[in-house]
Amino acid sequence: MPFLNTSKLVTIERHITEEGALHPSATGEFSRLLRDLTLAIRIVARDVRRSGLNDVLGVTEDVNVHGEMVKRLDIHANEVIIRAMDHGGHLCVMASEENEDLIPIPEPYHNGKYVLVFDPLDGSSNIDVNVSIGTIFSIYQRLDPTSAAPGSLADVLQPGYKQVAAGYAMYGSSTQLVYSSGNGVDIFTFDPTIGEFLLTYEKIKIPKRGKIYSINSGNSYKWEEGLRNYVRHLLSPSDDGTRPFSLRYVGTMVADIHRTLHYGGIFMYPRDTTSPNGKLRLVYEVNPMSFLVEQAGGRATDGERRILDLEPTSLHQRVPCFIGSEEDVLEVERFLREG
Ligand code: AHG
Ligand code: MN
Ligand code: MN
């Protein structure tokens, strides 16, 4: 797996401009949208790192603000993204995990032809213990690109295969941006010394099969029989050495998917007896991640149906998900069918 391709030094702006040339219909509007979004991500990355620092500085009169920021970093990240994105003229509406309803573009700003949905801070439970967290986003074209009216719920509740682009930022040992606009998946690593996201991995491909499964086993007493049989199968040694699998579970979807993209295997957040639709939200978590994994050659279903074909019915609806290496996802589907 090649590391930084220093000969090219491609910034994300240059990459988006070059990719834009691949879409004759694309105006500079999309590139400007992504420029604003990467600015927001850089600000969130800075504040994520600063919040950790404030834990070290201990109690000061600022602790309320920073404590509030750390404890409510997802609210802060949400406000940063909305403020960065609401006046560029590229969007007609936004939707966020942190907002019950649609986020309109405020007067006097222009309603553009794109829709942005996002999870501003994914992995909130890991904020206070310095474990990787992230931001997930997805971009659609509005249903009527000629309209200048405010965007509607119908513009947001589009099936995942209509995504124009999707990606996530991961605030880990470095800040990385994983992004696709339908032409494969590229990874950019933020270089704080120059303030740029530089292309680090090009057109990554997820292995066809892996040796890692990722699931919250604490819920296993609530799983359906087919899933229990599948996990038992993964843990039984095979003659060809493809099993047993190892379990890796960070509890931040961005981190678990990022590892799965690189190493292969399967990430699962299934339904269970107390959560009939699982936990993860279709519109701003599962759809963008499914788009990326499919773009990398993987598979993403709800155990039966392709995630990207699902017609969303509400903003915060949850969906069971099995995302990762094609052969691993196909195999769990077989176990679920057999029950
Ligand atoms: P968020 O912090 O945006 O609410 O997302 C948390 C999600 C996701 O990141 C992760 O995969 C999942 O919650 C973990 O849930 P459990 O703690 O129930 O395993
Ligand atoms: Mn999340
Ligand atoms: Mn979140």
| CATH number of the domain that residue 278 is part of | 3.40.190.80
Same domain? For 318 and 232 the reply is: yes
Residue range 27-55, pLDDT digits in tens: 678 888 988 999 999 999 988 888 765 54
The answer on pLDDT for 167 being more than 80 is: yes
Please check whether residues 166 and 250 belong to one and the same domain: no
User: What's the pLDDT score for residue 118?
Assistant: 98
What is the pLDDT at residue 61? 40
What does the pLDDT average to over 4-21?
Answer: 75
Mutate to test the pocket of ligand 1, among 271, 285, 290, 321 (most ligand atoms within 8 A of CB): 285
**pLDDT score recorded for residue 52:** 60
Same domain, 251 and 192: no
Please state the domain count of the chain. 2
Q: How far is the centre of ligand 3, averaged over its atoms, from the C-alpha of 22 (Å)?
A: 33
pLDDT of 180-228, one tens digit each?
999 999 999 999 999 899 999 999 999 999 999 999 999 999 999 999 9
Model pLDDT, residue 284: 98
**339 versus 249: which is more confidently predicted?**
249
Q: Please give the single-letter amino acid code of residue 235.
A: L
pLDDT of residue 53: 57
Mean pLDDT in residue range 123-136? 89
* Tokens linked to 130: 């310095």
**Is 138 in the same domain as 71?**
yes
Q: With a cut of 50, say whether residue 80 has pLDDT above it.
A: yes
Of 71-75, 201-205, 245-249, least confident by mean pLDDT is 71-75
Rg of the chain on CA atoms, in Å: 20
**Of 154, 181, 201, which residue sits at a domain end?**
201
Instruction: Say if residue 144 is in the same domain as residue 228.
Output: no
Quick one: 184 and 247 in the same domain?
no
Residue with tokens 């950019």: 188
- Buried/exposed code over 123-141 (b: 16+ C-beta within 10 A; e: otherwise): bbebbeeeebbbbbbbbbb
Q: Is residue 245 part of a domain?
A: yes
Task: Answer yes or no: is 5 within a domain.
Answer: no
pLDDT band at 239, cuts 50/70/90?
very high
Do residues 109 and 36 both lie within one domain? yes
Mean pLDDT within 292-314? 98
Looking at the chain, the whole-number percentage of residues with pLDDT higher than 90 is 77
Across the range 297-301, mean pLDDT stands at 98
CATH of the domain at 77: 3.30.540.10
- Ligand 1 atom at minimal distance to the Cα of residue 125: 2
Q: Which ligand is nearest to the CA of 76?
A: 3
Cα 251 to middle of ligand 1, angstroms: 6
Task: Answer yes or no: is 4 within a domain.
Answer: no
Inside any domain, residue 206: no
Ligand 1 nearest-atom number relative to CA 218: 19
The larger pLDDT score, comparing residue 104 to residue 54, is at 104
Same domain (yes/no): 136, 217: no
Instruction: Tell whether 165 is covered by a domain.
Output: yes
Residues 193 and 216 in one domain: no
Residue 274 included in any domain: yes
Distance 202 CA to ligand 2 centre (A): 25
CA of 191 to the centre of ligand 1 (A): 28
Are 116 and 48 members of one domain? Answer: yes
Which residue's CA is the nearest one to ligand 1's atom 12? 251
pTM exceeds 0.75: yes
Q: What is the pLDDT of residue 59?
A: 29
Ligand 1 proximal residues by C-beta, below 6 Å = 97, 119, 122-125, 216, 251-253, 279
* Helical residues (DSSP H) of 197-301, grouped into ranges: 225-234, 253-263, 287-295
Spatial distance between the Cα atoms of 337 and 6, rounded to a whole number of angstroms: 47
Residue 251 CB-density burial (10 A; 0-12 exposed, 13-18 middle, 19+ buried): middle
Residue 237 Cα to ligand 2 midpoint, Å, equals: 33
In a domain, 6, yes or no: no
Which residue's CA is minimally distant from atom 14 of ligand 1? 251
Q: Which of 152, 170, 201 is the last residue of a domain?
A: 201
Query: 155 Cβ partners below 8 Å, 6+ apart?
Result: 92, 93, 115, 140, 142, 143
The pLDDT score that the predictor gives to residue 305 is 98
Segment 140-150 shows an average pLDDT of 96
285 CA → ligand 2 middle, Å:
6
Residue of minimum CA distance from atom 11 in ligand 1: 253
pLDDT range class, residue 26, cuts 50, 70, 90: low
Return mean pLDDT, the chain: 90
Query: Which ligand approaches the C-alpha of residue 249 most closely?
Result: 1
Q: What is the mean pLDDT of residues 320-329?
A: 98
* CA nearest ligand 1 atom 16, residue: 251
Assess whether 110 and 252 both reside in one domain.
Answer: no
> In terms of domains, do 257 and 324 share one?
yes
- Is the pLDDT at 128 greater than 90? The verdict is no
Question: Which domain covers residue 310, as residue numbers?
Answer: 212-338
Q: Which pLDDT belongs to residue 69?
A: 47
